Amino acid sequence: MADLTESTSADSRTPILELDGIGVWLSGREILHDVKFEVRPGELVGLIGSNGAGKTTIFRVILGLLTPSSGRVLIVGGPRPRRNRSVGYVPQKIALDPDMPLRSRDLVALGLDGHKLGVSLPSRRRREMVDEMLHAVDAMPFANARVGSLSGGEQQRVMIAHALISRPKLLLLDEPLANLDLRSEQEVVELLAEIAKEHGVAVLISAHDLNPVLPVVDRVVYVAHGHVASGTTDEVVTTDVLSQLYGHNVDVIRLHGRILVVAGPSPRADPALMEQLGRLSNPVDDTVAV
Partner 1 sequence: MGGFWSHVVEPGFFQSQTVQVALLVGGVVAAISAVVGVLTVLRGQSFAGHALGDISATGGSGAFLLSINPLFGFLGMGLAAAGCMEAIGVRRVRGRDVATGIVLGAALGVAALFLYFDTTFHSTSGAAITVLFGSLFVVSSSTVPAIIACASGALVVVLVLYRPLLLSSVGDDVAAARGVPVRVIGGLFILTMAVTVALSAITIGAILSTALLIGPAATALRMTRRPVTATATAVAIGVAATWVGCLLAYDSFYWPPVNHGWPVSFCIVALVFVFYLAVDLVRSFRLRRTNLPADKSNGAVVRAHPLDTLSTGIEAASASGSE
Binding residues (CB under 8 A) for partner 1: these are 63, 65, 82-85, 87-89, 91, 93-103, 106-107, 110-111, 113-120, 141-142, 144-149, 151, 159, 162, 166, 172
211, 121, 109: which is closest to 165 by C-alpha?
109
Provide, rounded to whole angstroms, the least separation between the CB of residue 231 and partner 1.
Answer: 27
CB nearer to partner 1: pick between 15 and 111: 111
**Contacts with 25 (C-beta within 8 Å, 6 or more apart), sequence order:** 31, 69
Provide, rounded to whole angstroms, the least separation between the CB of residue 96 and partner 1.
Answer: 6
Question: How far apart are alpha carbons 80 and 40 in whole angstroms?
Answer: 16
281, 279, 241: which is closest to 259 by C-alpha?
241
CB nearer to partner 1: pick between 108 and 263: 108
Q: Which residues pair with 251 in a beta bridge?
A: 262
Ranges of beta strands (E only) in the chain are 17-26, 29-39, 44-48, 70-75, 78-79, 87-90, 170-173, 202-207, 219-224, 227-231, 250-255, 258-263
CB nearer to partner 1: pick between 65 and 253: 65
Provide, rounded to whole angstroms, the least separation between the CB of residue 134 and partner 1.
Answer: 15
Question: How far apart are alpha carbons 274 and 282 in whole angstroms?
Answer: 12
* The pairing of beta strand 17-26 with beta strand 29-39: antiparallel
CB nearer to partner 1: pick between 195 and 288: 195
CB nearer to partner 1: pick between 99 and 234: 99
Provide, rounded to whole angstroms, the least separation between the CB of residue 251 and partner 1.
Answer: 36
CB nearer to partner 1: pick between 85 and 258: 85
Phi, psi angles (nearest 5°) of residue 237: -85, 75
**Contacts with 53 (C-beta within 8 Å, 6 or more apart), sequence order:** 223, 224, 225, 226, 289
Provide, rounded to whole angstroms, the least separation between the CB of residue 119 and partner 1.
Answer: 5
Provide, rounded to whole angstroms, the least separation between the CB of residue 228 and partner 1.
Answer: 22
